[in-house]
Amino acid sequence: MITFKSEQKLFSKNYKLIGAVDEAGRGPLAGPVVAACILIPCSFKITGDWRKVNDSKKLSPKNREHLFKIITKNFEYGIGICDHKTIDKLNIHHASLLAMKRAIKSLNKKPDILLIDGKFSVRRIGIKQKTVIHGDATLFSIAAASILAKVTRDKIMKKMHELYPGYNFNQHKGYCTKSHVEKIKELGRCPIHRKSFSF
């Protein structure tokens, strides 16, 4: 269940600006991993459409797109991307953390504290951090970041579909679906497939 209690508790401890970080694309066989960091000020209140924010995986594409527009209009945010080559070079774990680091560093403002989805912190960032397992399913701020990461990555994969139409990246977004695996067996891997992933 999504709540704003953890963020409110931090605000009550005199943190003025919270950064929330999540990523999308750890599991796919193709394409990048994308991270998003959003900045939430202590003046923020949840009203109206904000109550619809949830883990991106639990939202329909239409609702994700709607909330994406609202989030990007109202919050400062940063996006970090690691492509398939970086994933193959570093492994998906380290590439995901690097994407998060890039998202944080792309911000114009420095948050007082970071809420990171998962159990691993981002190294050498110079900002206090709190990791939250299943944060995208429990914390409003991380859920909002998950929407930004997911929609941004989906847009990238739709563009990849235009370059490599035979794989139907616009449908499965590079994940290991039955139809995707069948296409790989039929056509072989394309340039954006992760060589370090098996299926």
Full-model pTM:
0.97
- What pLDDT sits at residue 80? 98
Fold assignment, 5-187: Nucleotidyltransferase; domain 5 (3.30.420)
User: Domain spans of the chain?
Assistant: 5-187
Closest among 19, 22, 21, 16 to 41, alpha carbons compared = 16
pLDDT level of residue 180 (50, 70, 90 thresholds): very high
Mean pLDDT of 105-112: 97
Other beta carbons within 10 Å of 161: 18
Structure tokens at 60: 């329909």
Find out whether 53 and 143 touch, Cβ atoms under 8 Å.
yes
Could you tell me which residues are beta bridge partners of residue 80? 35
Band (198; pLDDT cuts 50, 70, 90): confident
